[in-house]
Structure 1
Amino acid sequence: MESEPTHPKLDDTAPQSTSDFEPEGSQLTPSVSGNSTRRRLFYIFLVYLAALIAIGLVAYFQGRGLNSAEEIAQVSEAMYEQFELGIADLDAGHYEVARQRFEAIINFDPAYPGAEDMLVVALVNLNVPTVSPTSESTPTPDPSPPEDLMAQAKASIADEDWDTAINKLLSLRAKDPAYQPVRVDGLMYISLRNKGMELISQGLMEEGLYNLSLAKRFGPLDRDAMFRMTLAQQYLLANSYIGLNWIRASELFLPLCEQGATLDSCRKYAETAWKYGDLLWDEGDECGASEQYNAALNAWELPDLAPTASKADEVCATQSAPPPVPTATPTPTLTPTPGGNGGGS
């Protein structure tokens, strides 16, 4: 079962500074880009070109194989170059281009150091909201004096109403930026941190990670929050393999299921293990398929899989049974008859 996230107390935080946050609310959601049509077309061209280069590179070397030390060195250099270009794309905000590069690297070498971590960064940034759908980032001006807004924010935190607390603190910061700035930062940290934890527990990974990243501007995240952030990043990574690499998706969802990371992590593990089992069955590995099918059924109730799993169990049992021991044919023995030796004097 999933453990409930712990909430830090009001006095448990030590915010870093106030310079990283502005009261207008633009820090809670990125502003909508005003790029021209020409820039958008150019960006699309970059994405397309990067995808062609990276994926073409992978397909080329996978298709012909590596036959010499020189070719291995060339591939290693190419992977390194693509990785560094992906980092540069992340720094420049070209997250779709970066995603294409890191996915191409992983498809060629799933164990390439740092590639999965950078893919998670790209995926998270691609899924961050780009518009402000609710009033939380643009709160309605509150005519209450600063001390009342502070009291209301504290009451909302006590009630675990994180959205209201954030709105009250934004109103307070807009009304009087000099009013207890360290205290306001501490309360903002608590509200953003706990909102992020709550969203992650609900399966809203991107939104939860975004709020935790905002909380980090006011103070270092505690161990529980860092653990949840790591689980959310692993979930996004595992999710990115669904439909592309069932084996890797199954491997990544298994620990998430075991740790109760989200309400659906065991269901997704079961589904990916099922697909992995299908691949093994098609390859003629009935025992391997049986193992994956039973793992899926142990993780989640899948009535449609049960008949297939039973069939795989039967085939595997037949293949694994020891060969029958041949029955020994008895050797006939001669029974001596009286006087058969014919002698006597």
Structure 2
Amino acid sequence: MTAKTADVWLPFPAEEVAGLPDAFRYRRWDGEDAFPADPADCVFYVTPYMKSPLTTVRPLAAMTAVEVVQTLTAGIDHVLGGLDVLRPGVRLCNAAGVHTASTAELALALVLASLRGIPGMVRGQDREEWRDGFYDALADKSVLIVGYGSIGAAVEDRLVPFECGPVTRVARSARTTARGPVHALADLPALLPDADVVVLTTPLTDATRGLAGADFLRRMKDGALLVNVARGPVVDTGALLAEVESGRLRAALDVTDPEPLPAGHPLWHAPNVLITPHVGGSSTAFEPRAKRLLVRQLTRFAAREPVEHTVLTTG
């Protein structure tokens, strides 16, 4: 089968994605029970967005000709379990940059809402209660960003106009940026006690699973705010519950472990916890950026040029 007759599976109708190369047949599939065509004819698979891992990997075993698997998320943990059925040489690409603006925007919203007591005010409005008082400002607060990739840098961009205190950056390994030094993960124990706000934007890897565990949280200063817009398992839920239920820490979580958070889970009603339902990337900013990424990737693929954002190649 040549590239001119090969299939590309998209979660969007092809006619709604301006600029796609005409070298392929485009098949729309967004996780429905029925496949749109024979998976064996697919050479470029764009995974459904925000569907379960089982749904996402379901066609892979039959995709014997696939060359590229493209996620629409920066994280790839939801597809890793299905890659062992693919032949060697298949490239897995993520959507680095697509969710940057939206996720950073939500991180800032969670910080501001939590510090200024907005959840309590909303509850007061529901009860016609005037909850005046004295609330924290972001101004002068020190912020620690754990996971200083594109999203972490975008969070810092949005912090600057709010006159916060020093921003400390942490990534897997140390480096220097235009904004200042980036510390290694190994430096976290010494950095956590000085932060008023800790923002998690790190990918979920073996090194970051459970990163914000009991020792991490114990090192945070009294009254500090933990914001998680990364992945739920980056935080040890039991350890976090112990800290927020004691009143020592506050938390704002766009992601949880487990997820979705089931009814009756103690996190729902834990004091000083704000929860949003994993909507960091789910905004009006997503679709236009995702479509532009797909046009770039498929244009390169049609020209047999290297695709971008390749995070691994099956072996």
Higher helix share: 1
Q: TM-score, normalised by structure 1?
A: 0.24
Q: TM-score, normalised by structure 2?
A: 0.26
Higher strand share: 2
